[in-house]
Chain A
């Protein structure tokens, strides 16, 4: 294995000091002279025609500087996927959920803005609404969008291999259904932004986003500004998990209000508005049948999905494709059939959330495998190992597992959890369960069709040679991407991490699609590596010329320059450098020529040293409809074992232990990888046991706050035994691939399988509240 100087370590995050001391600036920390505050008017009803909007009273309120509705905003349709642009900035003909945006106000302070919003009078003609996805599919149900009849946003029908024939050769078929609940991502920082229009008509938008690039494009399109005149700058972001991966009415509203007033406008969502905006995990209904041989060979899978998408599409098309495509692995199948429906209902729109589209169906499938193992009398781990894919396998839907440490992960958790001594040997009320999963390391294609690079990076050396400035549009949202980028640059250039300074999240710096689909380590990583190699080459060439040696004899290591592995005779270079730098406080004394001296010498020759790197995946995937969704240059995978205690008298579940193994190719930063593993597991635990966005009969959210929308606390979350598996991905920079989302895939089913092991009851609806489990236990006793 390659020996790394910076990579694969536990280097502290580059933003640690700023965040630990509270100096790091988030969007809501920013203020600007003359700044106005914005507020949004949202629909109080779930479905209705807008008859009239009267803003006159609001406009008259002292301190109000602008009031905007669809009249000012225009009716440009936008969304995430160009195939389904179904939103306008403000509702004009009708509102489709409680929370639909109708108008916005800018005023001298927030109190005034909020008061003004209350003064806007909207006359509605209330329409019948539909809140349940199955109801919405029925004949005669209230229709949300005329363009998309029967409330179907998108439907997918795919078949790989001959499913009928494959089922015919099976010894038996196992069926399973599963229902999860609508999630909220519950990131700590609500969306916030400040928009500033300068006098030349150029917009700078500071916003808490995962995707500066897409926000730039959407805001430009909706407000009719040339894309080049929009700059999106992302300050530090307090988590995203998906819902911040698209442009929001907040951002567009602030930009519009700033254009109207020519003042900076700040807008922040309250926690309740975060729930109303949503764009988090869909509700999924899964129905599947698995055809098996008696010897434990998996043969064919039939999979059906119904997704409750809320009032607009958001990421929904990709979501409904993912629910099918992400079951292509990590087990070998002869045939697979998928039918998916994504349905509109009068609720906030759902979008992408960690493990996009795959989580619920993975949970269903891994539960189905557990059921199958019981029927076969086989250890669930053996069943999985028997069917597992390995490096080089291609799934039946043409996803290429260019590296896959799935088997290693399973073996690691089997040993790490002491599975063999526990499975089948625990007392009643205690259980152990396991599951697997895999996920993309970056989507193979951008959201809009284009040949664009997915990532470019610029590295610019400081003129003194001491600092490597990495400039990137990629989005640090708390996941640690700035640290990854810095470490890759440092490793590639052979300098200590302290010499690297990362500036990120700014569309003016470079092209980057942003933080979604677990793409930045691989894609921004590649571009960073290439940019660093370019800079390195420039310095090496100058040195080779100065030293009259071959470039291949020069190496940079820990900020020193080695010639043929030794210090070499570099006196003339140093003399030159010292002459150059009379008065500088740091005359070099090192036994070796330093990287800084070398970079300075190269600068004197070439001017400012700049390297640029770029990355886009090669053409990936099959030729069938929807083949793009699920493709990726690489796939991360993981296996988990969970141990639970069930209080048989109350139904309460305590997760006692979690063992997680994840194949991330190469762990750029081991601590960060473990952080992603732990975070994923905690999120999955919450989704399994507690989380559900609940509505009343009129479509109003009952629990739009973190008191009653329960995410796990430190006391609910056990310690995690994290095992990092490194398969060395050929398509990843230094062999690296994802960990951010794949790690959540096995969590839900592993907990559910453990609950089954503890109780003999299989729960197929989330969340597993104490009541749900208790009632199921009672029912079982009854029979």
Chain B
């Protein structure tokens, strides 16, 4: 397969990129790692006449901690960098874990968090992780800037609220409260290089190591047109005393949030049953991590 012809731009400032984006209107596409865009262009699904690279824009590929209370992740940070980042693994665990399960090493070196969110595939790995972390997305165009919650970002397969002239600059996440822990589980056929049949991200916060649950967030991927939060299941958990039975119950309730499809990767029936099992497992793992939470170094 060959790439169609296009004009290539490599702006060296964000302003320049935003100007190009607004000047070129709908004819341009931003290029981050290219692991989605170039594939879509080769398949002639996307046919931009202009491609604007983010490669030379300073700062987009940085992870910046903000005094312990939050972290700012540039949109062009690679999955490899997310997966290998100590602070993220420690405090924002689902995101680091999900990034570690995205594709395979070569893909992780190129794939970016911004590309993953904007591409908005229902089975993508990073959206559920961002959702349980209550991430905020900073969107910028030549004329305006806005912040949106990741929970309000996705509209449908491949669709988000981002406008044609907007660029996703960064992802901001507040540091979860003490006694929080999270996890991420992905079910695919192989151990790596897989598109999720189902994926689950979880964050749990405990009152104390042996206390009740004060906050719970569950997000599920590949089970609906967009990744979804299992709000009813979360409700079951908040205020309750953690136990395997409780987590199992949450899994059963969680399924209610989902409307998975049957396709050649798996049937609806199986996906539903796996949502139950994996939600429970993921909660168990998150719980173990929350119990062993340590104050920051």
B189 touches A690 (CB 8 A): yes
Count contacts on B: residues with CB < 8 A to the other chain: 20
Distance between A110 CB and nearest chain B CB, rounded to angstroms: 6
B2 touches A650 (CB 8 A): no
- Interface check B267, CB cutoff 8 A: yes
Cβ contacts A to B, 6 pairs, < 8 Å: A654-B191, A707-B195, A708-B195, A716-B192, A770-B187, A771-B266
**In the complex, A392 Cα to B201 Cα: how many Å?**
62
On A, residues with C-beta under 8 Å from B are 110-111, 114, 270, 649-650, 652, 654, 689-690, 694, 702-703, 707-708, 710, 712-713, 715-716, 769-771, 774-775
Q: When A270-B1, A650-B187, A771-B267 are in contact, do A713 and B192 touch as well, CB less than 8 Å?
A: yes
From B187, B195, B270, B277, name the one whose CB has the most chain A CB atoms within 10 angstroms: B270
Could you say which of B2, B190, B197, B267 contacts A716, with CB atoms under 8 Å apart? B190
Could you say which of B193, B266, B267, B278 contacts A713, with CB atoms under 8 Å apart? B193
- Chain A residues with CB below 8 A from B273, complex form: 774
- Interface check B297, CB cutoff 8 A: no
- Chain A residues with CB below 8 A from B278, complex form: 650
**In the complex, A554 Cα to B267 Cα: how many Å?**
73
- Interface check B55, CB cutoff 8 A: no
- Chain B residues with CB below 8 A from A713, complex form: 104, 190-193
In B88-115, which residues have CB < 8 Å from any A CB? 104
- Chain A residues with CB below 8 A from B187, complex form: 650, 652, 770
**In the complex, A769 Cα to B1 Cα: how many Å?**
30
**In the complex, A715 Cα to B188 Cα: how many Å?**
13
The 6 closest A-B pairs by CB, nearest first: A715-B191, A771-B270, A649-B277, A715-B192, A694-B264, A713-B192
Could you say which of A111, A114, A710, A774 contacts B189, with CB atoms under 8 Å apart? A710
- Chain B residues with CB below 8 A from A710, complex form: 189-190, 193
Q: When A649-B277, A702-B264 are in contact, do A769 and B189 touch as well, CB less than 8 Å?
A: yes
Q: When A110-B2, A114-B2, A270-B1 are in contact, do A650 and B190 touch as well, CB less than 8 Å?
A: no
Q: When A650-B274, A650-B277 are in contact, do A715 and B190 touch as well, CB less than 8 Å?
A: yes
- Chain B residues with CB below 8 A from A270, complex form: 1
Closest B residue, CB atoms, query A111: B2
Distance between B260 CB and nearest chain A CB, rounded to angstroms: 12
Closest B residue, CB atoms, query A110: B2
Could you say which of B190, B192, B281 contacts A690, with CB atoms under 8 Å apart? B190
- Chain B residues with CB below 8 A from A775, complex form: 270
- Chain A residues with CB below 8 A from B192, complex form: 713, 715-716
One digit per residue, 1 when the CB lies within 8 angstroms of any chain A CB and 0 when it does not, for chain B 178-204 equals 000000000101111101010000000
**In the complex, A710 Cα to B104 Cα: how many Å?**
13
In B252-297, which residues have CB < 8 Å from any A CB? 264, 266-267, 270, 273-274, 277-278, 281
Distance between A638 CB and nearest chain B CB, rounded to angstroms: 25
Closest A residue, CB atoms, query B187: A650
- Chain A residues with CB below 8 A from B195, complex form: 707-708
Q: When A111-B2, A775-B270 are in contact, do A770 and B277 touch as well, CB less than 8 Å?
A: no
Q: A710-B189, A769-B266 are in contact. List 19 more A-B contacts (CB 8 A).
A: A114-B2, A270-B1, A649-B281, A689-B189, A690-B189, A702-B264, A703-B264, A707-B193, A707-B195, A710-B190, A710-B193, A713-B104, A713-B190, A713-B192, A715-B191, A715-B192, A770-B187, A771-B267, A771-B270
Distance between B274 CB and nearest chain A CB, rounded to angstroms: 6
**In the complex, A110 Cα to B1 Cα: how many Å?**
10
**In the complex, A270 Cα to B278 Cα: how many Å?**
38
Could you say which of B1, B104, B189, B193 contacts A770, with CB atoms under 8 Å apart? B189
- Chain B residues with CB below 8 A from A716, complex form: 190-192
- Chain B residues with CB below 8 A from A703, complex form: 264
Distance between B282 CB and nearest chain A CB, rounded to angstroms: 13
**In the complex, A710 Cα to B189 Cα: how many Å?**
8
Distance between A317 CB and nearest chain B CB, rounded to angstroms: 31
- Chain B residues with CB below 8 A from A712, complex form: 190
**In the complex, A682 Cα to B267 Cα: how many Å?**
27
In B1-57, which residues have CB < 8 Å from any A CB? 1-2
One digit per residue, 1 when the CB lies within 8 angstroms of any chain A CB and 0 when it does not, for chain B 157-196 equals 0000000000000000000000000000001011111010
- Chain B residues with CB below 8 A from A774, complex form: 270, 273
**In the complex, A114 Cα to B2 Cα: how many Å?**
9
**In the complex, A702 Cα to B104 Cα: how many Å?**
22
**In the complex, A703 Cα to B265 Cα: how many Å?**
10
- Chain B residues with CB below 8 A from A649, complex form: 277, 281
- Chain A residues with CB below 8 A from B264, complex form: 694, 702-703, 708
**In the complex, A285 Cα to B277 Cα: how many Å?**
34
Closest B residue, CB atoms, query A272: B1
**In the complex, A650 Cα to B271 Cα: how many Å?**
10
**In the complex, A629 Cα to B42 Cα: how many Å?**
45
- Chain A residues with CB below 8 A from B267, complex form: 771
- Chain B residues with CB below 8 A from A654, complex form: 191
Closest A residue, CB atoms, query B271: A771
Closest B residue, CB atoms, query A767: B189
Closest A residue, CB atoms, query B278: A650
**In the complex, A708 Cα to B281 Cα: how many Å?**
27
Distance between B180 CB and nearest chain A CB, rounded to angstroms: 26
Distance between B53 CB and nearest chain A CB, rounded to angstroms: 23
Distance between A516 CB and nearest chain B CB, rounded to angstroms: 29
Closest B residue, CB atoms, query A715: B191
Distance between B199 CB and nearest chain A CB, rounded to angstroms: 13
- Chain B residues with CB below 8 A from A652, complex form: 187
Distance between B218 CB and nearest chain A CB, rounded to angstroms: 18
**In the complex, A713 Cα to B104 Cα: how many Å?**
10
**In the complex, A702 Cα to B263 Cα: how many Å?**
10
Distance between A190 CB and nearest chain B CB, rounded to angstroms: 11
**In the complex, A110 Cα to B42 Cα: how many Å?**
14
- Chain A residues with CB below 8 A from B266, complex form: 769, 771
Distance between B205 CB and nearest chain A CB, rounded to angstroms: 26
- Chain A residues with CB below 8 A from B189, complex form: 689-690, 710, 769-770
Distance between B281 CB and nearest chain A CB, rounded to angstroms: 8
Distance between A268 CB and nearest chain B CB, rounded to angstroms: 11
**In the complex, A775 Cα to B274 Cα: how many Å?**
11
**In the complex, A255 Cα to B63 Cα: how many Å?**
56
- Chain B residues with CB below 8 A from A111, complex form: 2
**In the complex, A381 Cα to B273 Cα: how many Å?**
37
Closest B residue, CB atoms, query A775: B270
Distance between A274 CB and nearest chain B CB, rounded to angstroms: 13
Distance between A730 CB and nearest chain B CB, rounded to angstroms: 44
Closest B residue, CB atoms, query A114: B2
- Chain B residues with CB below 8 A from A110, complex form: 2
- Chain B residues with CB below 8 A from A771, complex form: 266-267, 270
Distance between B141 CB and nearest chain A CB, rounded to angstroms: 33
Distance between A691 CB and nearest chain B CB, rounded to angstroms: 10
Distance between A131 CB and nearest chain B CB, rounded to angstroms: 14
Distance between A696 CB and nearest chain B CB, rounded to angstroms: 9
**In the complex, A712 Cα to B190 Cα: how many Å?**
7
Closest A residue, CB atoms, query B194: A710
**In the complex, A689 Cα to B191 Cα: how many Å?**
12
**In the complex, A654 Cα to B189 Cα: how many Å?**
10
**In the complex, A282 Cα to B270 Cα: how many Å?**
28
**In the complex, A702 Cα to B265 Cα: how many Å?**
11
**In the complex, A401 Cα to B189 Cα: how many Å?**
40
Distance between A742 CB and nearest chain B CB, rounded to angstroms: 26
Distance between B34 CB and nearest chain A CB, rounded to angstroms: 15
- Chain A residues with CB below 8 A from B2, complex form: 110-111, 114
From A111, A114, A649, A690, name the one whose CB has the most chain B CB atoms within 10 angstroms: A649
**In the complex, A715 Cα to B267 Cα: how many Å?**
25
- Chain B residues with CB below 8 A from A114, complex form: 2
Distance between A572 CB and nearest chain B CB, rounded to angstroms: 64
**In the complex, A690 Cα to B273 Cα: how many Å?**
20
- Chain B residues with CB below 8 A from A707, complex form: 193, 195
**In the complex, A114 Cα to B187 Cα: how many Å?**
38
- Chain A residues with CB below 8 A from B277, complex form: 649-650
**In the complex, A649 Cα to B278 Cα: how many Å?**
9
Distance between B45 CB and nearest chain A CB, rounded to angstroms: 14
**In the complex, A707 Cα to B104 Cα: how many Å?**
11
